[in-house]
């Protein structure tokens, strides 16, 4: 089958239009849905048995597909904004999720709804396309062009503040799913006791379950980032405080009898650094690890959310018996397996996050308690300094000490807030994700098939 040429037409994909497909390990399409057929303008017979790159658009850099295959062949889920080419030459753009499933792969695709992230992706894709074009001009083959394109994409992402392509797309997917969750209107399922009605209700339960856990993790990455910034700022503040103390204790007036109480307090203050520094280092490490784990968990749950949405759309096709509805039951079985695997993985990560949160909360509380001591010492120093006549050099340093007193109090308060947030997280995540609903979906799917 010859590939079409792009016509310049852009086909709009609606939020409720959800693409589904599965492939074998080589990327040959085994299953599809009516949305895929309708938007791509390929028939069922054209799609089934064809390589998935039948819809590949020439404007997509090879770097994106190199990243995809590298990720999914390692057993990890993948996500990307993708421009596709329909059989009639029209372009349509989707946010694609791909997960390994059995010996092949399962993909669910939706329309992008976060323009900023789509534009950011297009910017890095352009960097990849430029690098691949230059490599082609130098006679490089497709694999080398894709590799150089991926290097250029990586550089562009780093310049935008992202460590790698995976980090960027995880953030994009979580934001896209947040928009979809806001648009979702609660459904009460089918109002009957048939197997199909029960199946609809179980799918709604699965969506509510995934959404509940996404909500639990909504603010965790922000909480970790905030606490990490506070801890790092505290480290910088302690360094600056040491400089201030050294400047005062090294002054010519430090040996004067009237200033010795001030110097003594400063000496006690600076020695607190030896107690605080190891705790700061531990807190930063715990919070960084927790942020990474929470990021990965949110991403996996976001993939599951889109998969549950796809499952719901298949149930609707069964109910309405739209063209191609007979393809729905096998797809529902595949999707429920994929969501179940996501929840099992999320459970593993929940244990990790809980342990990290518990340890970070304990260290932060200890750090906040320790911070009260140097803050009290600084306050004492401030009071004594106000009662003495200071030399011009020492008096000039008083505002710096006062600023550090305020900063210390603010950081201690922030750390205390973080402890409260971590305890809230641990309370919310005290139960495991219940995957039994997915097995029930498969059972009911089989019952619906038997009834038909």
pLDDT in tens, 421-434: 777 666 665 566 67
Asked if the model's pLDDT at residue 308 lies above 90, the reply is yes
pLDDT in tens, 11-45: 999 999 999 999 999 999 999 999 999 999 999 99
Number of continuous H segments (helices) and E segments (strands) in the chain: 12, 5
- Predicted pLDDT at 290: 78
Report CA torsion sign: 225, 226, 231, 237.
Answer: positive
- Predicted pLDDT at 85: 97
Phi, psi of 96 (to 5 degrees): -105, 135
- Residue scoring higher pLDDT (101 or 264): 101
- Residue scoring higher pLDDT (206 or 193): 206
Euclidean distance between CA atoms 330 and 29, whole angstroms: 14
- Residue scoring higher pLDDT (387 or 72): 72
- Sheet harboring 29-32: ordered strands across? 29-32, 19-23, 104-110, 91-101, 78-85
Q: Residue 240's pLDDT band (boundaries 50, 70, 90)?
A: low
Asked if the model's pLDDT at residue 82 lies above 80, the reply is yes
Instruction: Classify residue 384 by burial, with Cβ atoms within 10 Å: 0-12, 13-18, 19+.
Output: middle
Q: Which tokens belong to 23?
A: 């492939």
Instruction: Classify residue 61 by burial, with Cβ atoms within 10 Å: 0-12, 13-18, 19+.
Output: buried
Instruction: Classify residue 355 by burial, with Cβ atoms within 10 Å: 0-12, 13-18, 19+.
Output: middle
- Angle subtended by helix axes 165-183 and 260-320, to nearest 10: 60
- Picking from 7-21, 49-63, 369-383, which range would have the lowest pLDDT averaged per residue? 369-383
- Residue scoring higher pLDDT (378 or 124): 124
Euclidean distance between CA atoms 449 and 452, whole angstroms: 5
- Predicted pLDDT at 22: 97
- Predicted pLDDT at 333: 92
Q: Say what the pTM is.
A: 0.82
CB 98 within 8 A of CB 21: no
CA distances from 7 to 47, 84, 86, 89 (A): 21, 12, 10, 5
- Predicted pLDDT at 194: 87
Asked if the model's pLDDT at residue 330 lies above 80, the reply is yes
- Predicted pLDDT at 346: 81
- Picking from 93-102, 357-366, 377-386, which range would have the lowest pLDDT averaged per residue? 377-386
Report the length, in residues, of the chain: 452
Q: What is the mean pLDDT of the chain?
A: 83
Mean pLDDT of 326-351: 87
- Predicted pLDDT at 79: 96
């Amino acid at each position: 089958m010859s590939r079409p040429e792009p016509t310049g037409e852009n086909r709009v994909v609606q939020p409720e239009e959800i693409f589904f497909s599965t492939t074998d390990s080589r990327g040959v399409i085994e299953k599809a849905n009516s949305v895929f057929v309708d938007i791509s303008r390929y028939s069922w017979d054209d799609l089934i048995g064809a390589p998935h790159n039948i819809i590949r658009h020439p404007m997509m850099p090879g770097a994106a597909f190199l990243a995809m295959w590298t990720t999914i062949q390692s057993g990890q889920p993948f996500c990307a904004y993708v421009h596709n080419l329909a059989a009639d030459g029209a372009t349509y753009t989707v946010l694609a999720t791909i997960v390994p499933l059995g010996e092949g792969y399962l993909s669910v695709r939706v329309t992008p709804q976060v323009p900023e992230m789509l534009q950011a992706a297009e910017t890095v894709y352009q960097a990849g396309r430029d690098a691949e074009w230059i490599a082609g001009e130098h006679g490089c083959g497709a694999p080398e062009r894709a590799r150089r394109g991926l290097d250029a994409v990586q550089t562009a992402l780093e310049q935008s503040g992202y460590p790698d392509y995976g980090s960027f797309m995880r953030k994009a997917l979580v934001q896209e799913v947040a928009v979809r969750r806001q648009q979702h209107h609660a459904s009460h399922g089918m109002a009957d006791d048939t197997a199909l009605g029960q199946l609809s209700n179980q799918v709604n339960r699965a969506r509510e379950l995934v959404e509940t856990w996404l909500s639990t993790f909504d603010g965790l990455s922000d909480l970790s980032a905030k606490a990490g910034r506070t801890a790092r700022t505290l480290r910088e503040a302690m360094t600056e405080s040491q400089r201030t103390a050294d400047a005062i204790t090294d002054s010519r007036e430090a040996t004067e009898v009237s200033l010795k109480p001030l110097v003594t307090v400063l000496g006690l203050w600076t020695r607190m650094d030896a107690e605080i520094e190891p705790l700061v280092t531990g807190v930063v490490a715990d919070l960084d690890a927790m942020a990474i784990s929470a990021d990965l968990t949110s991403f996996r749950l976001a993939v599951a959310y889109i998969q549950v949405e796809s499952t719901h759309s298949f149930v609707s096709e069964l109910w309405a018996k739209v063209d191609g509805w007979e393809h729905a039951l096998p797809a529902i079985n595949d999707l429920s397996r994929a969501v179940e695997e996501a929840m099992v993985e999320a459970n593993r990560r929940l244990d990790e996050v809980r342990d990290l949160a518990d340890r970070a909360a304990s260290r932060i509380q200890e750090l906040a308690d320790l911070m009260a001591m140097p803050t009290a010492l600084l306050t004492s120093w401030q009071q004594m300094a106000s009662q003495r006549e200071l030399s011009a050099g020492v008096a000039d340093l008083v505002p710096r000490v006062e600023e550090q007193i305020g900063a210390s109090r603010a950081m201690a308060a922030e750390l205390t807030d973080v402890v409260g947030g971590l305890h809230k997280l641990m309370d919310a995540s005290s139960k495991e994700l219940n995957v039994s609903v997915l097995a029930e979906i498969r059972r009911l799917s089989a019952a619906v098939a038997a009834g038909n």
